[in-house]
Chains A and B, each alone.
Chain A
Amino acid sequence: MLAGMDLVSVPQAMISRPLVAATVAGALLGDVNAGLRVGAVLELFALDVLPVGAVRYPDYGPASVGAAAIAAGAPWELSLGVAVGVGLLLAMAGGWSLRVLRRINARSVQRHGAALRSGEPRVIRRLHYAGLARDAGRSLLLAALAVGVAGLTIRWARFDRETAVALTIAAVGAGAASALGGALRGAGAGSRQRWLAVGGAAGTAIGVLVWGFR
Chain B
Amino acid sequence: MNGRGRALLRLLSVQGSWNYERMQGIGMGYAAEPLLDDLRTIDPVRHAEAVVRSAEFFNANPYLAGLALGAAARAEHDAVPGEQVARLRTALAGPLGALGDGLFWAGVLPATAGLALAAVALGGGWWAVLAFLVVFNAVRLFTTWWGLRTGLEAGMRVGSAISASVVPKAATRSGAAAALAVGLATPIVSAWMLHPFGFRGVASAMLLAAAGMVLARWSGARFTAPRFGLLALGATLLLRLVMA
- CB of A199 closer than 8 Å to a CB of B: yes
Can you name the residue of chain A whose Cβ is closest to the Cβ of B226? A88
For A127, what are the chain B residues with a Cβ–Cβ distance below 8 Å? 17, 26
Q: Which residue of A lies closest to B175 (CB)?
A: A192
Cβ-based interface call for A158 (8 A): no
Tally of contact residues, A, Cβ under 8 A: 109
Q: Is the beta-carbon distance between B229 and A206 smaller than 8 angstroms?
A: no
A179 vs B216: C-alpha distance in the bound complex, in angstroms? 11
Interface SS majority for chain A? helix
Encode contact with B along A169-195: 1 for CB under 8 Å, 0 otherwise.
111111111111111111100011101
Chain B positions within 8 Å of A128 at CB level: 13, 16-17, 26-27, 29-30
Q: Is the CB of B118 within 8 A of A203?
A: yes
For B166-206 the 0/1 string (1 means CB < 8 A from A) is 00000000011111111111111111111111000100111
Residue in A closest to B202 when the chains form the complex, CB atoms? A169
Whether B55 contacts A124 by the Cβ 8 Å rule is yes
Per the bound structure, the CA–CA distance linking A14 and B212 in Å amounts to 27
Q: Is the CB of A202 within 8 A of B233?
A: no
Residues on A with beta carbons closer than 8 Å to the beta carbon of B59: 53-54
B contact residues around A179 at 8 Å (CB): 182, 185-186
Min distance, Cβ A3 to any Cβ of chain B, angstroms: 13
Residue of B101, B120, B179, B204 touching A173 (CB-CB under 8 A): B204
Number of A-B contacts (CB under 8 A): 356
Please give, as numbers and ranges, the residues of chain B lying within 8 Å of A8 by CB-CB distance: 15-16, 18
- B149 within 8 A of partner (CB): no
The answer to whether B80 has its CB under 8 Å from any CB of chain A is: no
Of B13, B18, B113, B211, the contact of A17 (CB 8 Å cutoff)? B113
Which residues in A have their C-beta under 8 angstroms from that of B87?
none
Q: Is the CB of B183 within 8 A of A108?
A: no
For the complex, is B132 an interface residue (Cβ under 8 Å from A)?
yes
Assess whether A177 is in contact with B26, with CB atoms less than 8 Å apart: no
Cβ-based interface call for B97 (8 A)? yes
Contacting residue for A12 out of B17, B62, B120, B197, CB 8 A: B62
* Chain B 120-142 interface 0/1 with A at a Cβ cutoff of 8 Å (1 = within): 11100110010011001100100
A191 to chain B: which residues have CB within 8 Å? 176
Interchain CB contact under 8 A, A211 and B189: no
- B191→A207 contact, CB < 8 A: yes
| Chain B residues with CB below 8 A from A61, complex form | none
Query: A84 and B233: CB pair below 8 A?
Result: yes
Nearest chain A CB to B109 CB, angstrom units: 6
- Contact at B17–A177, with CB atoms within 8 Å? no
Q: A127 to B109, alpha carbons, bound, how many Å? A: 30
Given contacts A48-B224, A200-B184, contact A85 B233 (CB under 8 A): yes
A189 CB, min distance to chain B CBs, angstroms:
12
With A52-B105, A105-B18, A180-B182 already in contact, 7 other A-B pairs whose C-beta atoms are closer than 8 Å: A10-B15, A50-B101, A118-B52, A163-B240, A170-B233, A195-B179, A200-B183
What are 16 A-to-B residue pairs whose CB atoms are below 8 Å?
A14-B113, A19-B116, A44-B186, A54-B23, A54-B59, A58-B226, A109-B25, A171-B233, A172-B194, A178-B228, A179-B182, A181-B225, A183-B110, A184-B216, A199-B184, A207-B192
Pairs of residues from A and B, 8 with the lowest C-beta to C-beta distance, nearest first: A199-B183, A177-B212, A131-B17, A119-B48, A207-B191, A173-B208, A173-B205, A105-B19
